C-alpha cells in the first residue's frame, strides 16, 4: 500500500522473486532508498535528477557533479560504479533518452548468453544502475 491509498500495489515482476527484485519494486514505488548491488546513493539521486531534467545544459551540470563525485570515489568497486553512472550520463547527453532503453536491452541480452560469474555480476550491477535512471517514472 502507498501512503494514503487503500488499494495495494501488485508485484508483477517478469524476473525471479528474490531480494533484489523486491528492493527494485520498493525503490520504484516509494521514496525509500534501498541500495541495489552496484548502486551508490548520491549517484542514484543525481541519476533521478538527470532523468527528470529536460534541459541538455542542466544535464551537463549534473554530469559535472557526477564527475566530481567520481573523483572522490574510494575503492575499486565504488570507482567502477561511479564510472558507469558518468558514462551513462555522457551517452544520454550524446544519444538521447532512448539510449537507456537500448542499453538495458543490450545488457539483458548479454546476460542471456554464456558469461562468467564475474561478468554476470558486472552486468547485473549495470542493470541496477540503469534502474536508477528509470525510477523517476513511478515517482
Contact 104, 14 (CB under 8 A): no
> What confidence tier does 22 reach under pLDDT thresholds 50, 70, 90?
confident
pTM of the model: 0.79
Per-residue pLDDT, 21: 76
Rounded to 10°, the helix 98-112/117-134 angle is 160
Per-residue pLDDT, 2: 66
Name the residue with higher pLDDT: 3 or 91. 91
Angle at 104 between CA 101 and CA 107, to 5 degrees: 150
pLDDT digits over 51-81, tens only?
Answer: 999 999 999 999 999 999 999 999 999 999 9
Contact 53, 95 (CB under 8 A): no
> What confidence tier does 135 reach under pLDDT thresholds 50, 70, 90?
low
Tell me the domains of the chain and their CATH numbers. Answer: 19-138 (1.20.1150.12)
Amino acid at each position: 500500500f502507498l501512503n494514503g491509498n487503500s488499494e495495494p500495489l501488485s508485484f508483477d515482476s517478469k524476473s525471479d522473486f528474490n531480494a533484489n527484485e523486491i528492493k527494485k519494486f520498493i525503490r520504484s514505488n516509494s521514496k525509500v532508498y534501498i541500495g541495489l548491488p552496484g548502486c551508490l546513493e548520491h549517484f542514484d539521486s543525481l541519476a533521478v535528477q538527470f532523468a527528470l531534467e529536460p534541459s541538455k545544459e542542466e544535464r551537463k551540470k549534473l554530469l559535472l557533479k557526477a564527475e566530481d563525485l567520481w573523483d572522490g570515489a574510494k575503492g575499486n568497486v565504488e570507482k567502477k560504479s561511479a564510472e558507469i553512472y558518468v558514462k551513462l550520463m555522457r551517452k544520454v547527453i550524446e544519444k538521447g533518452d532512448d539510449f537507456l532503453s537500448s542499453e538495458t536491452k543490450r545488457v539483458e541480452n548479454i546476460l542471456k548468453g554464456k558469461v562468467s560469474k564475474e561478468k554476470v555480476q558486472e552486468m547485473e550491477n549495470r542493470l541496477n544502475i540503469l534502474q536508477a535512471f528509470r525510477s523517476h517514472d513511478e515517482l
